[in-house]
Amino acid sequence: MTRHYSSLVGWGHYAPENVVTNDDLSEIVDTTDEWIRARSGIERRHFVSPDQATSDLCIEAGRRALDRAGVAPEDVGLVLVATSSPDYLTPPVSSQVQHGLGCANAGAMTLVVGCTGFVYGLVTADQFIQTGAYETILLIGAEVISKNLDMTDRTTCVLFGDGAGAVVLQATDRPCGVRSFELGSDGSQAEALIAPSPGTRNPVSQYAIDHRTHYLRMDGRAVFKFATRAMTESLQRVMDKAALGVDDVDLFIPHQANARIIEYAAEQLQLPPEKVVMNVAEYGNTSAATIPIALSEALDAGRAEAGGTLAMVGFGAGLTWAACLFDLGPLALAPPDSGADRDRQPAPESVIDDRGVVEGLIA
């Protein structure tokens, strides 16, 4: 019987054009560029314009990933969107994305797992491909957090940004895809990172608006403590499960919340700095979008090759965490173009895999 594996054949990301620097924020709240850089490593972030919503970012990143893969929208079987900031509570944003991209033959599902959503989504997509249920899946991690930030609360508003990243996964019979994973949750710490309304616990009310309960609240120290432990321990466990060591992994792509958290984990696990992707300085924390944006940038830069092994690890609201090792299969690593139309160019229809074999990409 043919086994099915997930090959990552397309990727893309999008961040809104509007860049907000630390100095810009210091004109709004009592903070400084020095404090933000020293405590988080963040230098700037991208905020949407008033007329942009999460589906717009998803569609842009999703289209780039499909173009890169050379996959037509109507050939996508399932659209998965990981986000905690949908356009509306109802309908699910994944259906708007499915429609906006022209994925006329796809099912669509939204995963709400905070910053951990992309890794949960990757594992979910991989399972659907392994069972043979789907041939082609578009997975997007996206957030518009800026519209849920309390711009009077300096402990949160300086840390977050907006953006989206996407990957296209396709079934192949060559061994690749998720090699090992761990999905974790500790609901006892739910209040460490919470937007208390609107929801069925606290529907929209004058009280909610007066008390600003619709904004994101965070116990930074509690999350920091949780994050450092969750990241190091879950990464170690997925490497142990796969019987791989740090030397066997080509690239570590951690959730980009705070440079100090990433540096702590890298030090604990003795990861060589050149193997750790870090772009928090440019985007801040874009929650479910950080890992796919970092992944897309790393692949554009040629930091991983066909046949390479990636480690991804996220943590966030829930509190949740997720880690996985992902083997790149017959990946189309086209050299990145520099022009503005780069991601509009159709991807080549065939690629050379890690064994030097030319394989068609289009199912």
DSSP SS3 for 195: coil
Evaluate whether 57 touches 164 at the Cβ level (below 8 Å): yes
Token match 């659907």: residue? 128
CB of 220 to ligand ACO, least distance (A): 3
Cβ atoms of residues 237 and 182 within 8 Å? yes
Residue type, 49: S
Catalytic site residues? 115, 255, 285
Out of 122, 166, 223, 294, the residue judged to bind ligand ACO by CB under 6 A: 223
Cα-flanking dihedrals φ and ψ of residue 313, to 5°?
A: -145, 135
Among 11, 47, 224, 283, binds ligand ACO (CB under 6 A): 224
Q: Which of residues 134-173 bind ligand ACO (CB under 6 A)?
A: 154-155, 158
Which residue in the set 193, 239, 269, 310 belongs to the binding site for ligand ACO (CB under 6 A)?
193
Residue 184 interacts with ligand ACO (CB under 6 A)? no
Binding to ligand ACO in span 5-64, by CB under 6 A? 31, 35-36, 39-40
Residue type, 104: A
Which stretch, 129-137, 221-229, 267-275, 348-356, contacts ligand ACO (CB under 6 A)? 221-229
Per-residue binder mask for ligand ACO (CB under 6 A), 304-343, x = binder: ------------xx--------------------------
On whether the CB atoms of residues 13 and 163 are closer than 8 A, the answer is yes
Cβ proximity of 267 and 295 under 8 Å: no
Q: What binding mask, one character per residue, do residues 112-131 give for ligand ACO by CB under 6 A, x or -?
A: --xx----------------
Contacting residue, 83, 85, 258, 309, with ligand ACO by CB under 6 A? 258
3-state secondary structure at position 155: helix
Q: What φ, ψ does residue 229 adopt, rounded to 5°?
A: -70, -50
What is each CA distance from 58 to 162, 198, 282, 318, 351, in whole angstroms? 11, 23, 19, 23, 26
Q: Which residues bind ligand ACO (CB under 6 A)?
A: 31, 35-36, 39-40, 114-115, 154-155, 158, 193, 218, 220-221, 223-224, 227, 257-258, 261, 285, 287, 316-317
